[in-house]
Structure 1
Amino acid sequence: MYVKDVSNSPMAGVRQFDEDEALERVLAVFWRKGYGATSMQDLAEATGVLRGSLYNAYGGKEAMFLAVFDRYKARYLADAAKALDKPDIETALTDFFAFSIRSMTTGKPSRGCLTTKTATDESADSAEIHAALGSLLDGLEELLQQRFARDDAHGRLQLPPAQAARLVVTMTRGIVVMERIHGDAAKLRATASALVKVLLHAP
């Protein structure tokens, strides 16, 4: 999809930009810098689109964040579902945590977790942003509940599926914080492995 980039300057004329490419660059900036530290000028420079044109197209920084977070959420939940779709519950959980840790430790420096980074940003305090963040965590919890309800998980879970799902989601948020402090992916994997052992009876 292409969106017209109309400058306020009569010298600039009219040009078009690739919206998909622009939003991917916007997502990368928010993920790297965080919501509060990102300015509209940062987004203009990252996309190569004039700041006024971004306002015209999207309505401001919060609207742009919500647009790219929706993309991020869909991608994250699809990847989480793929990781969990294994025939054995222990493998499914191990692969899920591996995916989660790999996502937050990507980059130099590592990019962390967009959801948690935004949730702890006092400048990202609007009801709309909170609702968007909550929808991702609720979606993740639902995926885990569905996976824990499958036949191969029966008899192995130490907790009811709903409680186990909430514990795993909460653990993913704690892992994010530990990654920010220690930056040690191997330690994160060891912690996740310990939780899997606590959650499951031996086969």
Structure 2
Amino acid sequence: MARTGRPRAFDKDQALERALLLFWSRGYGATSVQDLVDALELERGSLYGAFGDKRSFYLAAVRLYWDIYERRLAEALETGPVLPALREVLAIPTQLQEYASDVGVPQGCMIGNTLAELVPQDAEAREVVARSNARFVQIVADALRRAQAEGEVTQAADPEDQARLLLFTVQGLSLVSRTGLDTATALSAVDALLDALRA
């Protein structure tokens, strides 16, 4: 008869959400297992039993981050004018102070951070980043196609190419924003890019 073991005395989903904020504010390398134990108020054995090693825990947090981001991206672009919605999406890296918690202030984009810290040495991390980037391009390209049909966006460029340019912009802005980029300066650059997309 298989042993069921002791039931976990914590909420795994809540622990992952808290770990996401910790990893997002400090990065993978600067977050130790002890930091996770302290922030989540878990025993090491419980943490390892629930999530595996630190790398597995981090990648689970990145996947959760992307699931949340993708849902918000799709909702933002679902209806209404596309360009104002894209402006809000592109501006997020400059507004992360609003997401501050007791474990810190988020830094940049977790997908971009993973790209900088773990890729290309880690094949699984590379796959997570590649899949997330592909979904960003797909969602944004679909919205741009609709915007072209409605006369909001120029017909002069392919929607996939436009979406890739926006991906490169948001990832670059995300990394640069970690140096303390002024919000007004960042938004001026975003506006210049979006103006080039207008019909």
Q: Report the TM-score range of the alignment, normalised by the length of the smaller protein.
A: 0.7 to 0.9
Question: Are the structure 2 counterparts of residues 104 and 162 from structure 1 closer, same or farther at C-alpha, using a change threshold of 3 Å?
Answer: farther
Q: How far is 1:163 from its partner?
A: 0.5
More strand by share: 1
Q: TM-score, normalised by structure 2?
A: 0.84
Relative to the length of structure 1, the TM-score reads 0.82
Distance 2:5 2:191 in 1: 49
2:117 is matched with which residue? 121
C-alpha distance in structure 1 between counterparts of 2:8 and 2:118, whole Å: 36
CA-CA distance at 1:189 after TM superposition: 1.2
> Quick check: 1:165 aligned with 2:163?
yes
**Which residue matches 2:57?**
64
Q: Percent of counterpart pairs with the same letter? A: 29
Amino acid of the structure 1 residue aligned with 2:28 = Y
The alpha carbon displacement at 1:94 in A equals 2.3
Instruction: Report the Cα distance in structure 2 between the residues aligned to 1:118 and 1:57, rounded to whole angstroms.
Output: 22
**Mean Cα deviation higher: 91-100 or 124-133:** 91-100
- For 1:112, the equivalent position in structure 2 comes to 108
- Residues 15 and 144 (structure 1), Cα distance of their counterparts in 2 relative to 1, 3 Å cut: closer
Matched-pair contact (CA < 8 Å) for 2:145–2:159: yes
1-side partners of 2:157 and 2:119: how far apart? 37
Q: Which residue of 1 aligns with 2:16?
A: 23
Q: Which runs of 5+ in 1 are unaligned?
A: 7-13
Note the alpha carbon deviations across 1:90-143, whole angstroms, 9 max, x for none: 323223323454348743755222111221115883111111122111111110
Could you tell me how far 1:175 is from its partner in structure 2? 0.8
Partner of 1:47: 40
Distance 2:72 2:128 in 1: 18
Give yes or no for contact 2:20–2:58 (8 Å, CA) kept in 1: yes
Give, in whole Å, the separation in 1 of the partners of 2:9 and 2:120: 30
One-letter amino acid matched to 2:95:
R
Map 1:72-83; keep pairs closer than 5 Å. Answer: 72-83=65-76
Distance 2:182 2:75 in 1: 25
Q: Closer, same or farther in 2 for the Cα pair 1:159/1:15, shift >3 Å?
A: closer
Change (3 A) 1:5 1:141: farther
Relative distance call for 1:153 and 1:140 in structure 2 (3 A) is farther
Q: Which residue of 2 aligns with 1:149?
A: 145
2:193 to 192, 195, 198: 195
1:177 corresponds to which residue?
175
Q: Secondary structure at the match of 1:56?
A: helix
Aligned partners of 1:44 and 1:51 also within 8 Å: yes
**Relative to structure 2, which stretch is displaced further, 189-198 or 154-163?**
154-163
Say what the alpha-carbon RMSD is for the aligned residues.
2.5
d(CA) in 2 for partners of 1:5 and 1:117? 36
Secondary structure of 1:158's partner? Answer: coil
CA pair 146-46 structure 1, distance change in 2 beyond 3 A: same
